[in-house]
Structure 1
Amino acid sequence: MDDITAHEAVIRRAGGLDAREAAEVWLRSYDAALPTVRRAHSDDEVRDYFREVVIPGREVWVAQSPDGPLVGVMVLGEGRIDQLYLAPDRRGQGLGDRFVALAKRRHPTGLDLWTFQVNTPAHRFYERHGFTEADRTDGGANEEGEPDIRYVWPGMPSGGHRRHLT
């Protein structure tokens, strides 16, 4: 299923024309959610990365509001949520919940992700969705040099198929 209607926003696979707007969501969200974390790349480098690498080569989902602009972006890797960013004015409205539900449907055998240690709202969000802390680092392995946490979700039993006793 490529299009999923969720409340007033539509979550859909991203296309080439979405690159710039998806990068803008990422930039606004990062700056609002992580004001104390130094970004490793300039705005233009982020835009180029979305246009040249993320959109053409990754599994990218975007949320589009009814009036047109993108309000969220999620990038999935193999069994991983690589990025999940929402427009700052869309946080706390259930859009992130819908993105995580989609990620779980796409990867029912389990997911992992990384988030910065300073991002306590993200910790609460992912823990509420069944993710548990697996590792903490000093940030030496990420471009920002920021301590981070790896979260894991173990997946659904039998790869997402529920067993029913009859």
Structure 2
Amino acid sequence: MTSGNGVVLRRAVAADAAAAAGVWLRSFAAALPTVVRPRTDDDVRNYFRDVVVPLRETWVAEATEEGHGIVGVMVLDGTSLSQLYLDPGWRGRGVGDRFVALAKERSPQGLTLWTFQVNKPAHRFYERHGFVAAEHTDGNGNEEREPDVRYEWRP
């Protein structure tokens, strides 16, 4: 567990699943309005409850101020940073930077991640943290069928 700036990063527990899914849904809608999601909101909530939180290395950012709760979620899968989403109102406050630092601590040998080609703010964010674009695809390998980019970070 790490804390700073009124936000604690900690491993997610079962009770966090709904709030983490809510962050994912709000973040996706704000950051990727042109990307067609193949799954319903309920599908996403069920996936977080049944798979992401109990079976993945899932971390949440919890604001310590009254009434804020979970404001970010990060999922690691070995050397893959498979998800990093922040509540839209919490972007630009250093929470994402702290998540990336934690991911690098957890996977010091290196990390990979995928992001959509249309998500230029994510490209800038990850490149600022030393990630390099390694592969561009037409989106045939993801369920959204949206062109994407694989990034790598090597220490």
Pairwise same-fold verdict (TM > 0.5)? yes
Alignment of 1:38-53 (within 5 A): 38-53=36-51
Q: Structure 2: how far apart are the matches of 1:152 and 1:40?
A: 26
Distance 2:73 2:79 in 1: 17
Aligned twin of 1:98:
98
- Alignment of 1:144 with 2:144, yes or no, is yes
- Count of residue pairs the alignment pairs up: 153
* Cα distance, 1:31 vs structure 2: 0.3
Structure 2 distance, partners of 1:37, 1:17, is: 29
Structure of higher CA gyration radius: 1
* Equivalence for 1:123: 123
Report the secondary structure of 2:35's partner residue: coil
TM superposition outliers: structure 1 runs of 4+ over 6 Å = none
Answer yes or no: is the 8 Å Cα contact 1:23–1:47 preserved in 2.
yes
One-letter code aligned to 2:36: R
Post-superposition offset of 1:6: 1.9
Aligned match of 1:21 in 16, 19, 22?
A: 19
SS of residue matched to 2:118: coil
The sequence identity of aligned pairs, in percent, is 61
Q: Is the 8 A contact 1:111 1:152 kept in 2?
A: yes
Secondary structure in 1 matching 2:29: helix
Q: Which residue of 1 aligns with 2:109?
A: 109
d(CA) in 2 for partners of 1:6 and 1:106? 18
Structure 1 unaligned spans of 5+:
156-166
The 3-state SS of whatever aligns with 1:10 is: strand
Q: Distance in 2 between matches of 1:43 and 1:89?
A: 20
The residue aligned with 1:6 is 4
SS in structure 2 of the partner of residue 108 of structure 1: coil
Question: Residues 103-157 of structure 1: CA distance to partner in whole angstroms, max 9, x if unpaired?
Answer: 00000000000000000000000000000000000000100000000000012xx
TM-score, normalised with respect to structure 2: 0.97
